Amino acid sequence: MAKARVHSRHVEQFLVPQEDAKLEDPEETLDESGDPLEESGQTVDTSDEEEIDDSVAEDIVRFEESFEGINKRYRLINRVGEGTFSTVYKAEDLEYHKYENRWDIDARENRKWASPGHRRKAHRPHYVAIKKIYVTSSPMRIFNELELLHDLKNSDSVCPLITAFRHLDQVVAVLPYCQHRDFREYYRDMKVPEMRLYFRSLFTALRSVHSKQIIHRDIKPTNFLYNPQYARGVLVDFGLAERQGTDWHRCACAMDIEDHETKISNSVWAQSREAPPSYPKSDMRPSRRANRAGTRGFRAPEVLLKCTQQTTSIDMWSAGVILLTLLSRRFPFFHSADDVDALLEITTMFGRKKMRETALLHGQVFQTNIPSYSEQGHALEKIILWCTNRSTKDERTGLKPELEDDEKEAVQFLYRLLECNPAKRITAEEALQHPFITKAFEDSECDDDMVDLVDV
């Protein structure tokens, strides 16, 4: 047998000049990822030739001309996604057979099933996704994304980095091309059993990421490429991700109960509680700064409240927003203009009392004079019934509509995700043990039995 000329790919030609890295002003770091409705992703499959618009063809030619040597390695086929920080192309990997491709799960699976004759001539095209990171992104930010992706290689349900290239100021990341369906095509019809599978896959990815103490920070449908046909998804886009603990400053939420109480009772707010709400004329306190990177509508309350010790649990809140979207059939569910607006949207649901407690947890004071916010908020069941037009009594029976039994189960789980106190919020590991998710295992157990049978 001819000895195959295989060698592993490394992150090639990638160098971040340290001087540039230092130049970055943290104030100028863009921390708002795109509105999930404005971002364009599309349903992608593994078919080869596809019709493309003239403008896309021109864009591809421009890219090929500007990035020297790219078309020797890849044949660009289509533009498949445009996020806030990048454009993503589908391409055929022309040098696939020169390398070891440990990332290629599909090839491994296919080889397992293929007949020996088929295996020999398995010279079909192999596709990759080329993520062209906008040159306006800071070198530190690009380095951060690639480094975290590198650390996450071999992580279950996380899209692995194959390699990366730099030509002048342009950096591209090369990832396996992941077949998926656009969330907007299925969020209105997804049934609860399918939601169990979706979240089983998403929490598998989050468990891998969180076990490495990495916070993704931008969990939303466009960053989780899900294929309902195979009930499998991969997490992408580590552009805003960070290691937990980076830039931590002591926040009241991490104090023990005694310290927390002392801090609150000594605060200016506590000492002037009886007086009508007022604000100091010249506030000498330093302004509070915290990482708020993420997407509007998906930020956890502690991010909005500028918690300075944010943890991986902020991703679990965002996952909760996706579940709320699926149950309510409203996308995007939250649509706020800014962080204060976002806090008020959460207040509408959970009530003033919960928001006061949540703010105090992080040493902040929440006050509002808008009379329409109730003290206790509304039950999630009720909100979902409203959103799905099931809130009026039946004229004949006089009965109030109720959620289906499996929707009720989903809501119980949703309460664990949309828990305002991050310390009490369910973790990815725990979520995978929750009955809402384990039922998905039970449902698919018969499929696994089938696979085992065929394997024998």
Ligand X SMILES: Nc1ncnc2c1ncn2[C@@H]1O[C@H](COP(=O)(O)OP(=O)(O)O)[C@@H](O)[C@H]1O
Q: How many residues bind ligand X (CB under 6 A)?
A: 23
**β-strand partners of 242:** 215
Stretch that binds ligand X, among 67-75, 77-85, 204-212, 388-396 (CB under 6 A): 77-85
- Shortest separation between residue 252's beta carbon and Zn ion, angstroms: 6
Pick one of 63, 67, 74, 85: the residue that binds ligand X (CB under 6 A). 85
- Shortest separation between residue 289's beta carbon and Zn ion, angstroms: 13
Pick one of 159, 342, 360, 418: the residue that binds ligand X (CB under 6 A). 159
Name the 3-class secondary structure at 157: coil
How far apart (Å, rounded) are the C-alpha atoms in residues 181 and 70? 28
CA 130 from centroid of its chain's CA atoms: 19
How far apart (Å, rounded) are the C-alpha atoms in residues 290 and 303? 8
Give 249's contacts (C-beta < 8 A, 6+ positions apart): 308, 309
Q: Which strand (E) or helix (H) includes residue 257?
A: helix 257-265
How far apart (Å, rounded) are the C-alpha atoms in residues 240 and 295? 10
- For residue 131, the partner it binds in Mg ion, Zn ion, ligand X, none, with Cβ less than 5 to 8 A by kind, is ligand X
- The smaller minimum CB distance to Mg ion, of residues 79 and 126, is found at 79
- For residue 63, the partner it binds in Mg ion, ligand X, Zn ion, none, with Cβ less than 5 to 8 A by kind, is none
Site for Zn ion contains 314 (CB under 5 A):
no
How far apart (Å, rounded) are the C-alpha atoms in residues 332 and 204? 24
Q: Determine if the peptide bond prior to 176 is cis (ω within 30°).
A: no
Give 382's contacts (C-beta < 8 A, 6+ positions apart): 391
Residues 122-141 that bind ligand X (CB under 6 A): 129, 131
Site for ligand X contains 36 (CB under 6 A):
no
Stretch that binds ligand X, among 60-68, 236-244, 323-331, 355-363 (CB under 6 A): 236-244
Per-residue binding letters, 239-268, with ligand X (x by CB under 6 A): x-----------------------------
Q: Which residue do the tokens 């596809």 mark? A: 50
Verify whether residue 218 is a known catalytic residue: yes
Candidates 93, 218, 237, 315; catalytic one: 218
Pick one of 88, 197, 324, 414: the residue that binds ligand X (CB under 6 A). 88
Site for Zn ion contains 299 (CB under 5 A):
no
- The smaller minimum CB distance to ligand X, of residues 225 and 418, is found at 225
Site for Zn ion contains 251 (CB under 5 A):
yes
Site for Zn ion contains 253 (CB under 5 A):
yes
Residues 237-256 that bind Mg ion (CB under 5 A): 237
- The smaller minimum CB distance to ligand X, of residues 169 and 259, is found at 169
Site for Zn ion contains 162 (CB under 5 A):
no
How far apart (Å, rounded) are the C-alpha atoms in residues 110 and 405? 39
Dmax (CA) of the chain: 87
How far apart (Å, rounded) are the C-alpha atoms in residues 186 and 228? 9
CA 57 from centroid of its chain's CA atoms: 30
- Shortest separation between residue 186's beta carbon and ligand X, angstroms: 14
- The smaller minimum CB distance to Mg ion, of residues 152 and 384, is found at 152
- Burial of 260 (C-beta count, 10 Å sphere; 0-12/13-18/19+): middle
Q: Which residue do the tokens 């099933």 mark? A: 113
How far apart (Å, rounded) are the C-alpha atoms in residues 295 and 85? 13
- The smaller minimum CB distance to Mg ion, of residues 79 and 425, is found at 79
Pick one of 90, 362, 425, 434: the residue that binds Zn ion (CB under 5 A). 362
Site for Mg ion contains 83 (CB under 5 A):
yes
How far apart (Å, rounded) are the C-alpha atoms in residues 291 and 306? 7
Q: Which strand (E) or helix (H) includes residue 171?
A: strand 170-176
Catalytic residues: 218
Which residues of the chain form contacts with Zn ion (CB under 5 A)? Answer: 251, 253, 307, 362
Positions that interact with ligand X (CB under 6 A) = 39, 41, 44, 80-81, 83-86, 88, 129, 131, 159, 175-178, 222-223, 225, 236-237, 239
